[in-house]
């Protein structure tokens, strides 16, 4: 429980009007609203999760909000990152977020950290804040956030999303479990697809982000009914919630210092292996592919390994759709052999990653192929701008 000194915290006439619906709640009251005004919360990320939780923390009257992010607003963000608007495309997310927060709550102190969170800066950034909220989407930063919170004894409000599913809990709060109790070891790099590859329902991060904001507010108010020790699982497609119990692992390693989290998650090793595979793999650029398509050559077949719904959005002329899952599961390999009929294989996907995977699998079956670097995204950017990007 946070125990701020409330003697110097005064609410203005505007505060009484603005937070009247809070103050009349017995569970909040005048003292609770003062707690919110005295509190400081750090949000890691201003993406899908950070957007709604920052809006509601500001509206609730949090006195100081810190934001860590180094990205800029992209058109593809606007489907779910509701704190940003079209006029902010191409500009820093933290500046966009601050602008919107101050429109909601002009008295809020907003601290901006336009930097990548690292083992070198995390402790210094976290130290001034009462609560840390993890709105990130990658495993190295999640482990870093967890370990820094453990070392500084800060509550860590966690959330994650993918496609139609999300989860939330509170880590490192009053003796409760931390992230390493849920995930002792990170998954192999590339095993968990990103939202850019797998997609995400636009309203999903709104739901999980608001749950995170709710938990942060309850921690500040001193509630004993937080999600600590409970992992909340949400399925938007089924509109269902369920819970899993979490307990501290008595034999988990003691966190004594921050480490190299990229190394811990196996990313440098995976990148080195990918570079070796890339060096051994035949590749072509989209401009080379365009020249080939414009020629009279008949000795090749272009395979598109994206999913059918992606194929509906945009196609490269003449490409034959054989999705990567079909190739991974076996039937697609026979389809490729039948389509090739002795011709050479060229494969593409959205950005080149899945088609490289397909070529590696097909090579195990005696089929050599050439990967299109950058996939259909590069095709749209460099060859045919009328092809939609997604």
Which pLDDT belongs to residue 244?
Answer: 97
Which pLDDT belongs to residue 195?
Answer: 75
Query: Span 39-270: which CATH code?
Result: 3.40.50.720
Which pLDDT belongs to residue 15?
Answer: 97
Cα 196 from chain centroid (whole Å): 9
Which pLDDT belongs to residue 171?
Answer: 98
Q: 281-382: same fold as 39-270?
A: no
pTM attached to this predicted model: 0.83
Concatenate the DSSP letters of all residues of 239-306 into one string.
Answer: TEEEEEE----TTSPP--S---HHHHTTHHHHHHHHHHHHHHSEEE-HHHHHHHHHS---SEEEEE-S
Query: Span 281-382: which CATH code?
Result: 3.40.250.10
Which pLDDT belongs to residue 117?
Answer: 97
- Rounded to a whole number of angstroms, the distance between the first and last alpha carbons of the chain is 45
Where in the sequence numbering do the catalytic residues fall?
A: 195, 349
Q: List per-residue pLDDT tens for the chain, 390 residues long.
A: 577 889 889 999 999 999 999 999 999 999 999 999 999 999 999 999 999 999 999 999 999 999 999 999 999 999 999 999 999 999 999 999 999 999 999 999 999 999 999 999 999 999 999 999 999 999 999 999 999 999 999 999 999 999 999 999 999 999 999 999 999 999 888 777 777 778 899 999 999 999 999 999 999 999 999 999 999 999 999 999 999 999 999 988 899 999 999 999 998 887 777 677 777 799 999 999 999 999 989 999 999 999 999 999 999 999 999 999 999 998 999 999 999 998 999 999 999 999 999 999 999 999 999 999 999 999 999 999 999 999
Which pLDDT belongs to residue 1?
Answer: 56
User: Is the distance from CB of 370 to CB of 343 less than 8 angstroms?
Assistant: no
Give me the residue spans of the domains in the chain: 39-270, 281-382
């Amino acid at each position: 429980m946070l125990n701020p000194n409330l003697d110097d915290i005064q609410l203005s006439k505007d505060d009484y009007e603005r937070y009247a619906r809070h103050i009349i709640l017995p569970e909040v009251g005048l003292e609770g609203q003062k707690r919110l005004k005295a509190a400081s919360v750090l949000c890691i990320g201003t993406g899908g999760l950070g957007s709604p939780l920052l809006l509601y923390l500001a509206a609730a009257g949090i006195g100081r909000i810190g934001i860590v992010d180094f990205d800029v607003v992209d058109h593809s963000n606007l489907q779910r990152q509701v704190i940003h608007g079209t006029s902010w495309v191409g500009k820093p997310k933290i500046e966009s977020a601050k602008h919107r927060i101050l429109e909601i709550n002009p008295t809020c102190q907003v601290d901006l950290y336009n930097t990548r969170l690292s083992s070198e800066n995390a402790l210094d950034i976290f130290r001034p804040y009462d609560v840390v909220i993890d709105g990130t989407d990658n495993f190295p930063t999640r482990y870093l956030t967890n370990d820094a919170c453990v070392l500084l004894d800060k509550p860590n409000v966690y959330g994650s999303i993918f496609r139609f599913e999300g989860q939330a809990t509170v880590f490192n709060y009053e003796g409760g479990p931390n992230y390493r109790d849920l995930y002792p070891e990170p998954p192999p790099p590339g095993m968990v697809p990103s939202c850019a590859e797998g997609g995400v329902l636009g309203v999903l991060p709104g739901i999980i982000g608001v749950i995170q904001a709710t938990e942060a507010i309850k921690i500040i108010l001193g509630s004993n009914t937080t999600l600590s020790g409970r992992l909340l699982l949400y399925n938007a497609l089924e509109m269902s919630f369920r819970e899993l119990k979490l307990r501290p692992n008595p034999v988990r390693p003691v966190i004594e210092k921050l480490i190299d989290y990229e190394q811990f998650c196996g990313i440098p090793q995976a990148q080195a292996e990918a570079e070796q595979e890339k060096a051994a793999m035949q590749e072509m650029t989209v401009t080379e592919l365009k020249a080939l398509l414009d020629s009279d050559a008949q000795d090749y077949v272009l395979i598109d390994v994206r999913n059918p719904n992606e194929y509906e959005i945009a196609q490269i002329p003449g490409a034959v759709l054989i999705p990567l899952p079909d190739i991974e599961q076996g039937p697609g390999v026979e389809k490729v052999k039948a389509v090739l009929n002795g011709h050479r294989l060229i494969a593409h996907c959205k950005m080149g990653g899945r088609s490289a995977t397909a070529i590696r699998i097909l090579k195990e079956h005696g089929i050599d192929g050439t990967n299109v670097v950058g996939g259909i995204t590069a095709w749209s950017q460099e060859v045919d701008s009328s092809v939609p990007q997604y």
